[in-house]
Structure 1
Amino acid sequence: MGSSSVHVNEATIVTPSEPTPTGVLSLSALDSQLFLRFTIEYLLVYKPHPASDPRATTARLKAALAKALVPYYPLAGRVRASSADPSTGLEVVCRAQGALFIEAVSDLNVHEFDNAPRFVTQWRKLLSFHVADVLKGAPPLVIQLTWLKDGNAALGVGFNHCLCDGIGSAEFLNSFADFASTSQSKFPPNPIWDRHLLNPPPFKPSTDNNNSSSSHPEFNRVPDLCGFMSRFSNERLVPTSFIFDKTSLNELKKIVFSTSRVGESNYTSFEVLSAHIWRSWARALNLPSNQILKLLFSINVRERVKPSLPRGYYGNAFVLGCAQTSVKDLTEKGLGYAAMLVKRAKEQVDGEYIKSVVESVSQEGASPDSVGVLILSQWSRLGLEKVELGGMGKPIHVGPICCDRYCLLLPVFNQTDAVKAMVAVPTTAAHRYEDLLRSFSS
């Protein structure tokens, strides 16, 4: 089964529209983590105004990209291993080398994005330039505008994750969109580099053994008791998506309340939804009861460090929350137990915890394992649904280029209280996973 037909008309390197600083910028210890050396890939789908001219739109977006690369000039640089610390550190060489802009046409139509893709890579060519190794000199930013056969448009965007996190990349896209608008009325925050703020030097190396990576469950290895890794690499993965509206989220909260201990009933929508997805995923996979499972999810630390990071900081400013338990306890103890694990994982992330994570990744090269792990990322809170491109309005679909084994919580067009959960699961578990996701049970 092949990918949908996409034909690239033009690929151009776009450089900043004005002179920008040259030199080498160091990335932070969090930026340089081994597990972030990949490309964040977004897919935003638009319904342009019927009277809009595709050629004019393309020219306007290329010009907007050139303007956005002036304040965000490191995104026009190239990432490489640090000359000072080549084993673990990274840096950006800034010489206005440019970002890649691609224009393409496709036989897809807008309605094909209403549901999950039929297979993991169905939309792969909507970002035709795929970067396999982010340290091999590729542009850290790639944007592809693809005109669909019904006159609508898809915007594929790839960011080198070492340069920015989800919040930072969404701020750039909103700035880019603002430059593409004639009104330029949003005034996104000015981008702030300041990567030194999340480096170990401001912190004294801890003498507390509790702050080593061994005290961080996200970095600890657990035994693979069931061929977990081979199952996910050898079995075909089936993309799934399901929308949880306000009513269903409230229903989940009621179930959590009824299965929680006294005094532990105040849960957020994220905590109950991620618990429900994690339990459904675990039950569908039918794993041995003693297999240890983890739910990893990103926690924004911009306001959790002291002093807080400046507004506009677009580097990686998150650590991984980790809820961990056995298959037996996760599947048998009820939704309230799972939600409690997620809540406690969030609550322990304070300044000292963040400090110890920075030390672990910079001094020990600590990195999360994949055995028994479901990674969940909350794209619904990034602001991607606000990326209003001039003449095309706001995106009617926000999601990944490829639906893979990590779970994404996505915004839903015109439903501010709804969330779409998208994840690919092994074929043998897909039908049961979808059934469990729909049937709310304790």
Structure 2
Amino acid sequence: MGSLVHVKEATIVTPCEPTPSRVLSLSALDSQLFLRFTIEYLLVYEGHPGLDQRATVARVKAALGKALVPYYPFAGRVRAKPDGSGLEVVCRAQGVWFVEASSDHSVNEFGRAPRFVTQWRKFLSFQVADVLKGAPPLVVQLTWLKDGNAALGVGITHCLCDGIGSAEFLNSFAELASTSQTKFSEFKFKPKPVWDRHLLNPAPCKPSRNNNNNNNHSLSHPEFNRVPDLCGFQARFSNERLVPTSFIFNKTSLNELKKVAFSTSRLSEANYTSFEVLSAHIWRSWGRALNLPSNQILKLLFSINVRERVKPSLPSGYYGNAFVLGCAQTSVKDLTEKGLGYATMLVKRAKERVDGEFVKSVVESVSQGRASPDSVGVLILSQWSRLGLEKVDFGMGRPVQVGPVCCDRYCLLLPVFNQTDAVKATVAVPTSAYPRYEHLVRSFCS
């Protein structure tokens, strides 16, 4: 049984001022096949049980209409280009969905892992199954909880923006909702949204230096390479029930992981970040818990922001997809036996590979070869803890919980309320792997 959520009203909100009527091209990175889904955030607010609900809904809807003026592509519709070369947005101020709902859930239920993957599905009632079939790219749902608190579900089509871009939008939207009426019309967006998608397209009239185009990207980009499925990996994740997990790592536990990584590393490579050791620890725990054949290749894919890695750097306020996938890859045997330091070193090296030339070659691969990451042996990890989602305040205070609408097989690193040095890691694992994963992720052994 899912959440009991009752939709009170669903309306289309359009920009509150005239916006340009045009067709905008999305970049080669935006148009990637694996980005044709919706980023779904769930923000939970506590501490305002006496809030005037009607006034709050009016403020949020007004703020949404105002935010859609500079972010007018969110009120458009995404479609494939007629020549099949990528995606574009038809901007005619068509509008976005705003939903008001009520629920029988209370705020304290969101602090632990959901009982099943889709438990909170109805906190974003309108799902966009296919972004190219004319649905609004943005859906916002404000749900009132039974204790008078609130949850905000937000769905944003990933091909229009990345995590950083969507968080910038949400923070401006929220700031507008908490701005007084006298200052509302003079509100300045910081940063000012920038489209400029052409900056992440392949250079014109520059053919690849290699004629053997079919396999070339595989050699330099393991994230796009296919590996053999030696153990029914895909079937297992498709057929076996997945169990959501949630673990908080505070500063002390992150320092403990660094010590373990240091003790199993070559000294010259032991200067590791919290992200590197934590992602390696989760990857190892996941890989070991699945009990796979020793020669099965496993990959950890994680997003790397390239705004400052390309030359010239992208302008402040660029909200399109400006990331590439880092890829750490090894066998089950090596991941299991060589210790945390080895896995952390693989993550660190995957990050260091990404420079301006690397980004150019990714752009070429995805635009010419339609390259896309495989799912065999892959754990995808995304760092939401650094996006600024924990600051999104609609006049109800900062969210006490930040996470996805559905806990899935992808691992998310999330912020923890009032603990700036802590990270919550959520991922759903097959039922048969759950007990061992829980044990391994809690034990900081080498």
Q: TM-score range by the shorter chain?
A: over 0.9
Cα offset, 1:363, TM superposition: 0.3
Q: Deviations over 1:34-90 (max 9, x none)?
A: 00000000000001534420111011000000000000000000000012x32x400
Aligned partner of 1:59 in structure 2 is: 58
Aligned partner of 2:341 in structure 1 is: 336
Aligned partner of 2:418 in structure 1 is: 414
Cα offset, 1:21, TM superposition: 0.2
- Structure 2: give runs of 5+ residues left out of the alignment: none
Give the aligned residue type for 1:334: G
Please tell me whether the aligned partners of residues 41 and 159 of structure 1 are also in contact (alpha carbons under 8 angstroms). Answer: yes
Aligned partner of 1:200 in structure 2 is: 202
Provide the rounded CA distance (Å) in 2 between the counterparts of 1:211 and 1:394: 47
Other structure's SS at 1:370 match: coil
Select which of 222, 227, 237 maps to 2:227.
Answer: 222
Matched, 1:354 2:359: yes
Give the aligned residue type for 1:426: P
Aligned partner of 2:129 in structure 1 is: 132
1:30-69 aligned within 5 A: 30-69=29-68
Provide the rounded CA distance (Å) in 2 between the counterparts of 1:99 and 1:9: 17
Select which of 255, 263, 266 maps to 1:258.
Answer: 263
1:158-169 aligned within 5 A: 158-169=155-166
Please tell me whether the aligned partners of residues 306 and 323 of structure 2 are also in contact (alpha carbons under 8 angstroms). Answer: yes
1:164-313 aligned within 5 A: 164-182=161-179, 187-201=189-203, 204-208=206-210, 212-313=217-318
Cα offset, 1:411, TM superposition: 0.2
Other structure's SS at 2:222 match: coil
Q: Deviations over 1:185-240 (max 9, x none)?
A: 89520000000000013583331579634321000000000000000000000000
Cα offset, 1:265, TM superposition: 0.6
Give the aligned residue type for 1:401: V
Matched, 1:118 2:118: no
Give the aligned residue type for 1:57: T
1:80-95 aligned within 5 A: 80-83=79-82, 85-86=83-84, 88-95=85-92
- Structure 1: give runs of 5+ residues left out of the alignment: none
Q: Deviations over 1:254-278 (max 9, x none)?
A: 0011000121110000000000000
Provide the rounded CA distance (Å) in 2 between the counterparts of 1:403 and 1:228: 19
Other structure's SS at 2:156 match: strand
Cα offset, 1:178, TM superposition: 1.2
Provide the rounded CA distance (Å) in 2 between the counterparts of 1:187 and 1:65: 13
Cα offset, 1:139, TM superposition: 0.2
Aligned partner of 1:70 in structure 2 is: 69
Select which of 105, 110, 116 maps to 1:108.
Answer: 105
Other structure's SS at 2:371 match: coil
Please tell me whether the aligned partners of residues 68 and 176 of structure 1 are also in contact (alpha carbons under 8 angstroms). Answer: yes
Provide the rounded CA distance (Å) in 2 between the counterparts of 1:337 and 1:186: 47
Provide the rounded CA distance (Å) in 1 between the counterparts of 2:50 and 2:371: 53
Please tell me whether the aligned partners of residues 405 and 424 of structure 1 are also in contact (alpha carbons under 8 angstroms). Answer: yes
Aligned partner of 1:437 in structure 2 is: 441
Provide the rounded CA distance (Å) in 2 between the counterparts of 1:72 and 1:214: 38
Aligned partner of 1:400 in structure 2 is: 404
Provide the rounded CA distance (Å) in 2 between the counterparts of 1:169 and 1:76: 14
Other structure's SS at 2:237 match: helix
Cα offset, 1:181, TM superposition: 1.2
Provide the rounded CA distance (Å) in 2 between the counterparts of 1:203 and 1:45: 49
Please tell me whether the aligned partners of residues 45 and 149 of structure 2 are also in contact (alpha carbons under 8 angstroms). Answer: yes
Select which of 384, 387, 396 maps to 2:392.
Answer: 387
Provide the rounded CA distance (Å) in 2 between the counterparts of 1:401 and 1:203: 43
Are the structure 2 counterparts of residues 15 and 365 from structure 1 closer, same or farther at C-alpha, using a change threshold of 3 Å?
A: same
Provide the rounded CA distance (Å) in 1 between the counterparts of 2:259 and 2:342: 13
Please tell me whether the aligned partners of residues 49 and 149 of structure 2 are also in contact (alpha carbons under 8 angstroms). Answer: no
Segments ≥4 residues shifted beyond 6 Å = none
Provide the rounded CA distance (Å) in 2 between the counterparts of 1:124 and 1:188: 32
